[in-house]
């Protein structure tokens, strides 16, 4: 009898995709999926067209073209404070998602335990599981999304191999403080753990929040795999350009697995992202912060007026709001109620927890046009008045 592998038997369609399908059905405003509705910078688009016309359409070196590795190295030094050799410490990957998969394949053994902060980004958990690792959870407590150092220490067992840190975070919008990253660094060194970071929202910071890469803390450079990409920064989620920055000891294996699965990231788009990194001035990144702060404020105000309480996020482009005032047995019911009665799609909070802690929560994405956010605000108002 043919059957799926034991691994594949556990897979289920993500709630994010389900909500997007449902949203389309009722022609709602989709604040569920983290797809950027904001424009791609003109320089980046033009460079992609030029690259295709110039014939950069074939396989590249497995760890990416030199121009992109050099551009990333320059950016890592100036923005993140990490000095990385573009020849052997940077691997360009098929999105940061590809970097995670290849890094886990390279550094985790089946049965290894990996600590993740919860609410988590589902891909982190499912990718740990896909390579045979075992996720363990550390609670970030609402409304401030702080964690207890004791919880982190108590989660360590002889099988613990790594910690995943996503800052700024999806879905909570949390930006880990220097003190929190220092605790994590201390624990990682005490127990000889890897740290995998997801810094994809590193430019999406508001008010006085600052980005800090844990690899820059003392003793962390060699045990940290710093992962990021340009999906969000350049609004190119479909282009699939990400990267991992780490010691040469690990980069070779990460490149090997990336080659095995993908051969390389899309060639002309590597050229375009390199051109974008080199060409775009500081004011582009400041503009990003300014525009997204405005979007955040627009959505947070609409949510507050509709009776959904939330912590105004310091980073990323999501708000995880308390929707306990909506009827339903769980977060899926609440998300469906909101979609059917207000025409706004959000992701059920249960998608970000391994237990029932998220059943009163809904995640809203504000990487949307101002017109869509305003329309969502009007629709949320309707539900506020009616109930």
Q: How far apart are CA 178 and CA 94, in angstroms?
A: 30
Is 98 or 379 the residue whose CB approaches ligand PLP more closely? Answer: 98
Under rule CB under 6 A, residue 343 binds ligand PLP: no
Is 122 or 132 the residue whose CB approaches ligand PLP more closely? Answer: 122
**Measuring CA to CA, which residue among 37, 36, 51 is closest to residue 275?**
51
Going from the C-alpha of 284 to that of each of 102, 278, 353, the distances in angstroms are: 31, 12, 35
Stretch that binds ligand PLP, among 48-56, 62-70, 90-98, 105-113 (CB under 6 A): 90-98
Q: How far apart are CA 322 and CA 164, in angstroms?
A: 25
- Is the bond preceding 168 in cis, omega lying within 30 degrees of 0? yes
Q: How far apart are CA 124 and CA 137, in angstroms?
A: 12
Q: Which of 15, 113, 118, 198 binds ligand PLP (CB under 6 A)?
A: 198
Q: How far apart are CA 92 and CA 82, in angstroms?
A: 16
Under rule CB under 6 A, residue 377 binds ligand PLP: no
The count of residues interacting with ligand PLP (CB under 6 A) is: 13
Q: How many CA atoms lie within 13 A of 93 on its CB side?
A: 30
Is 160 or 166 the residue whose CB approaches ligand PLP more closely? Answer: 166
- Subset of residues 237 to 276 that bind ligand PLP, contact rule: CB under 6 A: 237, 242
Under rule CB under 6 A, residue 315 binds ligand PLP: no
Is 280 or 384 the residue whose CB approaches ligand PLP more closely? Answer: 280
Q: Which of 28, 34, 86, 313 binds ligand PLP (CB under 6 A)?
A: 34
Is 196 or 383 the residue whose CB approaches ligand PLP more closely? Answer: 196
Please report how close the Cβ of residue 122 comes to ligand PLP at its closest, in angstroms.
9
Under rule CB under 6 A, residue 97 binds ligand PLP: yes
Per-residue burial over 127-153, b if 16 or more Cβ lie within 10 Å, else e, is: bbbbbebbbbbbbbebeebebeeeebe
Please report how close the Cβ of residue 321 comes to ligand PLP at its closest, in angstroms.
17
Going from the C-alpha of 168 to that of each of 71, 142, 156, 307, 312, the distances in angstroms are: 22, 16, 24, 25, 13
Q: Which of 41, 64, 135, 229 binds ligand PLP (CB under 6 A)?
A: 229
CB distance 240 to 39 below 8 Å = no
Please report how close the Cβ of residue 133 comes to ligand PLP at its closest, in angstroms.
17
CB distance 334 to 348 below 8 Å = yes
Q: Starting from the edge strand earliest in sequence, which strands make up the sheet with 241-245, in order?
A: 90-94, 241-245, 224-229, 194-198, 160-166, 113-118, 134-139
Strand partners, 8: none
Is 231 or 270 the residue whose CB approaches ligand PLP more closely? Answer: 231
Task: Indicate the residue whose CB is closest to ligand PLP.
Answer: 95
Q: How far apart are CA 41 and CA 48, in angstroms?
A: 11
Under rule CB under 6 A, residue 231 binds ligand PLP: yes
- Subset of residues 156 to 175 that bind ligand PLP, contact rule: CB under 6 A: 166, 170
Is 121 or 250 the residue whose CB approaches ligand PLP more closely? Answer: 121
Is 166 or 213 the residue whose CB approaches ligand PLP more closely? Answer: 166
Under rule CB under 6 A, residue 121 binds ligand PLP: yes
Phi, psi of 195 (to 5 degrees): -120, 125
Is 34 or 64 the residue whose CB approaches ligand PLP more closely? Answer: 34
Q: Which of 96, 160, 172, 310 binds ligand PLP (CB under 6 A)?
A: 96
Stretch that binds ligand PLP, among 37-45, 145-153, 179-187, 229-237 (CB under 6 A): 229-237
Name the residues that contact ligand PLP, by CB under 6 A.
34, 95-97, 121, 166, 170, 198, 200, 229, 231, 237, 242
């Amino acid at each position: 009898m043919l059957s799926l592998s034991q691994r594949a038997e556990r897979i289920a369609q993500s709630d994010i995709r389900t909500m997007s399908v449902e949203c389309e059905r009722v022609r709602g405003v989709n604040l569920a999926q983290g797809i950027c509705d904001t424009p791609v910078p003109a320089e980046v688009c033009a460079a992609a067209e030029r690259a295709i016309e110039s014939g950069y359409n074939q396989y590249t070196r497995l760890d990416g073209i030199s121009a992109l590795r050099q551009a990333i190295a320059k950016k890592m030094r100036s923005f993140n404070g990490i000095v990385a050799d573009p020849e052997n410490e940077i691997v360009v990957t098929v999105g940061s998602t590809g970097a995670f998969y290849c890094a886990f394949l390279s550094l985790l053994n089946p049965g290894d335990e990996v600590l993740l902060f919860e609410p988590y980004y589902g891909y982190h958990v499912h990718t740990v599981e896909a390579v045979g690792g075992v996720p363990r959870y550390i609670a970030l407590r609402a409304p401030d999304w702080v964690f207890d150092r004791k919880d982190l220490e108590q989660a360590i067992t002889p099988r613990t191999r790594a910690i995943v840190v996503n800052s700024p975070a999806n879905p909570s919008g949390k930006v880990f403080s220097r003190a929190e990253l220092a605790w994590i660094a201390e624990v990682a060194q005490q127990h000889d753990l890897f740290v995998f970071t997801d810094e994809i929202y590193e430019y999406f910071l508001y008010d006085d929040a600052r980005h800090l890469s844990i690899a820059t803390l003392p003793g962390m450079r060699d045990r940290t795999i710093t992962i990021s990409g340009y999906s969000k920064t350049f609004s190119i989620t479909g282009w699939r350009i990400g990267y991992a920055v780490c010691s040469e000891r690990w980069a070779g294996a990460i490149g090997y697995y990336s080659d095995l699965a993908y051969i390389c990231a899309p060639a002309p788009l590597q050229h375009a992202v390199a051109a974008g990194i080199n060409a775009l001035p500081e004011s582009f990144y400041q503009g990003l912060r300014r525009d997204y702060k405005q979007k955040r404020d627009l959505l947070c105000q609409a949510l507050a007026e509709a009776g959904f309480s939330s912590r105004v996020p310091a980073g990323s482009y999501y708000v995880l709001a308390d929707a306990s005032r909506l009827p339903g047995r769980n977060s899926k019911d609440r998300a469906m109620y909101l979609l059917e009665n207000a025409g706004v799609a959000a992701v059920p909070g249960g998608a970000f927890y391994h237990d029932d802690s998220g059943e009163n929560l809904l995640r809203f994405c504000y990487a949307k046009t101002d017109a869509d956010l305003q329309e969502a605000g009007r629709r949320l108002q309707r539900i506020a008045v009616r109930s």
